[in-house]
Amino acid sequence: MSLLVVGSVAFDAIETPFGKTDKIVGGAASYICLAASYFNKHSHLVSVVGGDFPENFIQLLQQQGVNTEGLQIKKDEKSFFWSGKYHNDLNNRDTLVTELNVLGTFNPIVPESAQNAEFLMLGNLAPAVQISVIQQMKTRPKLIVLDTMNFWMDIALDELKQVIGMIDVLTINDAEARQLSGEYSLVKAAQKILKMGLKALVIKKGEHGALLFNHDQVFFAPALPLEEVYDPTGAGDTFAGGFIGYLAKTEDISFDNMKRAIIFGSAMASFTVEKFGTERLIGLSQEDVDERVKEFINLVQFDIDLY
């Protein structure tokens, strides 16, 4: 089914204990589109880049089945740029540089061909921008998933709550769930946040996995224990891309299928962290993905017969 992805396409410069990069391609929508492309080949990208952005990455997306008609290229401006340095444990990072550039004035225009997309993934952007995308849809998508961050809770909470009321599934991390709800217990936090108008909530816990809640069920998927985590950048976006890509492919938005989508999303994220940036998400085979999913099955499945 058709999937519309809206989010940043950008440059990152990353430093981890294992090395550092020059400017490489990053941005939420880059990770989301690549991860989703392993499941669903009918996607549209709405984003903005400057004249400095490499044409070959856009071609790569197109080869992966991403329609880039909605990608605005502002020839005389520069792409969004973020630079960060991770601490030794990789769980914390300091932002060194944030240059909004073209993203500062981003006004997303959903092309007519994407206005009936059945699945909509809104990557982390200003809530007002996310709202404007929803308002451009001709038919209400079957499922809208939205990612956001603490920054918008700090400076645009009312608009954020407004957009949460318009979507189906919210993905945030544990600290953000606590901030948004005022509850320390993630179970209580989830109950409060779901009442803002959601069908389901995903709480991402980084190396500690992810929780999926609906109004009466909870599911947990661990992160795969890896020998080396090289660069966590984009793991959450990759997870979201795998999640919605799998749902769009299977056209099934039941809780049981969302559980599967969480596993596929986690599997995709486990690739991303193995190299810098989007590198590991390029050129994976179906066998690579299946093999990773099998590792998840082996990791968590057990057999207890209580009856």
Q: How far is the CB of 300 from its own copies (least distance, A)?
A: 5
Assigned token pair, 190: 């989830």
Which segment (40-48, 127-135, 153-161, 227-235) binds its own copies by CB under 8 A?
A: 227-235
Q: Which is nearer to its own copies, 107 or 298 (CB)?
A: 298
Binding mask 229-268 for its own copies (x = CB under 8 A): x--------------------------x--xx-xx-----
Residue listed under structure tokens 């404007």: 132
Cα Rg of the chain (Å, integer):
18
Give the interface size with its own copies as a residue count (CB under 8 A): 39
300 binds its own copies (CB under 8 A): yes
Q: How far is the CB of 187 from its own copies (least distance, A)?
A: 5
Q: What residues have CB less than 8 Å from 200, skipping those under 6 apart?
A: 168, 169, 194, 212, 213, 214, 255, 258
205 binds its own copies (CB under 8 A): yes
Binding mask 60-99 for its own copies (x = CB under 8 A): ----------------------------xx----------
Question: What's the length of the chain?
Answer: 307
Q: Which is nearer to its own copies, 85 or 161 (CB)?
A: 85
Residues in region 117-136 near its own copies by CB under 8 A: none
Determine which residue in the list 22, 92, 182, 306 makes contact with its own copies, applying CB under 8 A. Answer: 306
What is the distance between the alpha carbons of residues 228 and 273, in angstroms, rounded to a whole number? 8
Q: How far is the CB of 281 from its own copies (least distance, A)?
A: 20
Determine which residue in the list 142, 159, 161, 220 makes contact with its own copies, applying CB under 8 A. Answer: 220
Q: Which is nearer to its own copies, 72 or 257 (CB)?
A: 257
What is the distance between the alpha carbons of residues 198 and 187, in angstroms, rounded to a whole number? 15
165 binds its own copies (CB under 8 A): no
Q: Which is nearer to its own copies, 74 or 259 (CB)?
A: 259
Which segment (25-33, 157-165, 215-223, 271-279) binds its own copies by CB under 8 A?
A: 215-223
C-beta separation of 134 from 166 below 8 A: yes
Q: How far is the CB of 79 from its own copies (least distance, A)?
A: 33
Q: Which is nearer to its own copies, 78 or 188 (CB)?
A: 188
Q: Which residues of the chain form contacts with its own copies (CB under 8 A)?
A: 88-89, 184-188, 205, 208-209, 211, 217-222, 225-229, 256, 259-260, 262-263, 290, 293-294, 297-304, 306
